[in-house]
């Protein structure tokens, strides 16, 4: 049953997590699903990322997101390969986001600084894939795009968080499958995803 649950969870990677919905899909008891998920978390196979919210913002969704710990394992569990992912852009986007999340968590853990990761979404559908706090006075937002084209609307969630907390918002970044770093003004940037490992290897 656990392999079946892990495969189902892999398919939900980077999505909002609903234990009741997952239990119904697998025809399992909800509490059993939660117990098994806790076990999978202790084995670092999955991770639930809590929602970020602020008293200055309204209509927020306070549901956690779920990420797989290894996107390669997720693909194996779902029986998909690179050719399939190029056809299913939605699933590709989910797995790219999970990959970026795990890579950022890994790099942050090596700094010794108190980084905490969240996600943000409100009831109007405005979201930010990752909200990162360092201590009590620094805040950043990160969006992940599997494509190579960036639109001004991709910064909508980042700008909403900045507007609510201008005193501690340090930057917003959209990581994308492109080649160029660029500024979109007001502490907003686009950065190629590949910079994550290229910069890391240069350290």
Instruction: Express each pLDDT in 120-156 by its tens digit.
Output: 999 999 999 999 999 889 999 999 999 999 999 999 9
Asked whether the beta carbons of 190 and 181 are under 8 A apart, the reply is: yes
Asked whether the beta carbons of 191 and 177 are under 8 A apart, the reply is: no
Cα–Cα distance, 71 to 74 (Å, whole number) = 5
Angle at 129 between CA 124 and CA 134, to 5 degrees: 115
Asked whether the beta carbons of 21 and 27 are under 8 A apart, the reply is: no
Q: In this predicted model, what pLDDT tens digit does every residue of 49-107 receive, in sequence order?
A: 999 988 888 889 999 999 999 999 999 989 999 999 989 999 999 999 999 999 999 99
- For the chain, give every domain's residue range: 2-202
Q: Which two tokens stand for residue 154?
A: 């991709």
The pTM score is 0.91
Sign of the Cα torsion 191, 147, 50, 57 reads positive
Cα–Cα distance, 2 to 200 (Å, whole number) = 34
Cα–Cα distance, 111 to 200 (Å, whole number) = 12
């Amino acid at each position: 049953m656990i392999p079946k649950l892990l495969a189902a969870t892999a398919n939900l990677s980077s999505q909002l997590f609903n234990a009741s919905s997952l239990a119904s899909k697998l025809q399992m008891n909800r509490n059993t699903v939660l117990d098994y998920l806790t076990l999978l978390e202790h084995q670092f196979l999955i991770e639930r990322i809590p929602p970020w919210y602020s008293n200055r913002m309204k209509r927020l969704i306070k549901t956690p997101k779920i990420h797989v710990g290894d996107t390669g394992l997720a693909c194996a569990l779902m029986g998909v390969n690179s050719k399939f992912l190029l056809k299913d852009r939605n699933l590709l986007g989910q797995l790219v986001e999970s990959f970026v999340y795990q890579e950022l968590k890994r790099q942050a853990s090596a700094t010794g600084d108190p980084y905490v990761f969240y996600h943000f979404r409100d009831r109007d559908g405005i979201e930010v894939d990752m909200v990162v706090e360092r201590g009590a006075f620094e805040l950043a937002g990160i969006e992940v795009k599997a494509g190579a084209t960036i639109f001004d609307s991709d910064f909508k969630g980042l700008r909403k968080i900045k507007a609510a907390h201008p005193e501690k918002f340090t930057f917003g970044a959209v990581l994308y499958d492109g080649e160029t770093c660029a500024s979109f003004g007001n502490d907003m940037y686009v950065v190629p995803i590949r910079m994550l490992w290229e910069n890391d290897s240069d350290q």
